[in-house]
Amino acid sequence: MSKSPQDWPEPIVRVQSLSQSCTDSIPDRYIKPPTDRPSSITTTSSEDDANIPIIDLGLGAPYGGDPEPEAQPQASILRQISEACNEWGFFQIVNHGVSPDLMDKARETWREFFHLPMEVKQQYANSPKTYEGYGSRLGVEKGAILDWSDYYYLHYLPLCLKDPNKWPAMPPSCREVFDEYGRELVKLCGRLMKVLSINLGLGENFLQNAFGGEDIGACLRVNFYPKCPRPELTLGLSSHSDPGGMTLLLPDDQVPGLQVRKCDNWITVKPARHAFIVNIGDQIQVMSNAIYKSVEHRVIVNSDKERVSLAFFYNPKSDIPIEPAKELVTLDRPALYPAMTFDEYRRFIRMRGPRGKSQVESLKSRT
């Protein structure tokens, strides 16, 4: 597999600047082919009403304390999460133990970042080598049709990649808030990994250990979707499945935009207040031998309101082989995927940008 390029194939244009200068049209580079546009599928009213499941974890919010981290989840919670993983690959969690105040602070601090003067943000401009910093495209294919969003990408774990100097110094609370946010989300992801392990019939620590135990990776992509004068022609983020293990998404509390693929339809997620949206990534699809599947999702934009979301990716240690759990491989269900490290897989993804589920599906043919 080829190495990540050092630089972008074309000069970077900030979508936020385009949003300010384009009043009634958008550049061709952002116009999707008709089959990929938001309205390419007409939904029925029952699909408009549909939503991903909302699951109450019953952990409350730890104002200073910790909601018994080792407590076994109740059978009814295990069952609801199992159904959601099988049916949707996506669900929302409420009463998850993370303080609503911290969630709001995290999102609003990042919103402030995106409203800083461009010259401040440009100091953090990223490159495709690691993607860390302020970015405006995913993938390095010259001439690709681009998405209507800017983002900020940074590492939280492992510690050797955690470099607060690459985190914005402004707004002044940004580093401190993200540090606390990351700590809380790593704990919550650890709890959810146990639930998934138990539900797959594996020991409760199986997935965590297979991810590298304490040495997992965690990173954040903050997505900023500026207002768009022609939202029907473009997407904020093209259809993709998440390459890592599991994602906890903090959506905008005011503006919907995330759509999840369900059979041939796109379901717009209606976020519950102070919920996290959880989804299965490609690495758990591989480890579960496709008992759980990562699910395609995309983001639509609108002409009235900007949108901010925080996607926290919980990933395996990047240099250990990830393969189907032996316990889930049988004569009837042979291993569907070869072993591959997350580093190798991510390199592949980083070259091509969001491409539906083609990346994880293409692994199958290699067995």
Ligand X SMILES: O=C(O)CCC(=O)C(=O)O
Applying CB under 6 A, which of residues 150, 242, 296, 306 lies at the interface with ligand X? 242
Asked if residue 92 lies in contact with residue 277, where contact means CB atoms within 8 angstroms, the answer is yes
261 binds ligand X (CB under 6 A): no
Residue 299 interacting with ligand X (CB under 6 A)? yes
Those residues whose C-beta lies under 8 Å from the C-beta of residue 99, and which sit 6 or more positions away, are 61, 62, 63, 184
**Block residue for tokens 């690495």:** 283
Q: From CA 88, how far away is CA 280, in angstroms rounded?
A: 9
Compute the least distance from the CB of residue 244 to ligand X, in Å. 10
The phi, psi pair for 183, rounded to 5°, reads: -60, -45
Residue 219 CB, shortest distance to ligand X, in Å, is: 11
Taking the complex as a whole, how short is the minimal distance between the CB of residue 180 and ligand X, in angstroms? 21
Site for ligand X (CB under 6 A): which residue of 73, 182, 226, 257? 257
CA dist., res. 228 & res. 231, Å (int): 6
The residue from 188, 219, 237, 280 that contacts ligand X (CB under 6 A) is 237
Binding-site size, ligand X (CB under 6 A) = 12
Among 258, 267, 275, 301, binds ligand X (CB under 6 A): 258
The binder of ligand X chosen from 97, 139, 226, 251 (CB under 6 A): 251
Give the one residue of 221, 293, 317, 350 binding ligand X; rule: CB under 6 A.
221
223 sits near ligand X (criterion: CB under 6 A):
yes
Interface segment toward ligand X; rule CB under 6 A; list 132-140, 190-198, 226-234, 249-257: 249-257
By the rule CB under 6 A, 311 interacts with ligand X: yes
CB within 8 Å of 65: residues ≥ 6 apart: none
- Separation between Cα atoms, residue 66 and residue 233, nearest integer Å: 46
Distance CA 241, CA 356 (A): 6
User: Quick one: tokens of 73?
Assistant: 């989840």
x-marked contacts with ligand X along 319-348 as a string, rule CB under 6 A: ------------------------------
CB of residue 141 to ligand X, shortest distance in Å:
18
Work out the burial of residue 35: count CB atoms within 10 Å of its CB; fewer than 13 is exposed, 13-18 middle, 19 or more buried. exposed
Q: How many CB atoms lie within 10 A of CB 38?
A: 20
The residue (of 84 and 258) whose beta carbon lies closer to ligand X is 258
Residues that bind ligand X (CB under 6 A): 221, 223, 237, 242, 249, 251, 257-258, 297, 299, 309, 311
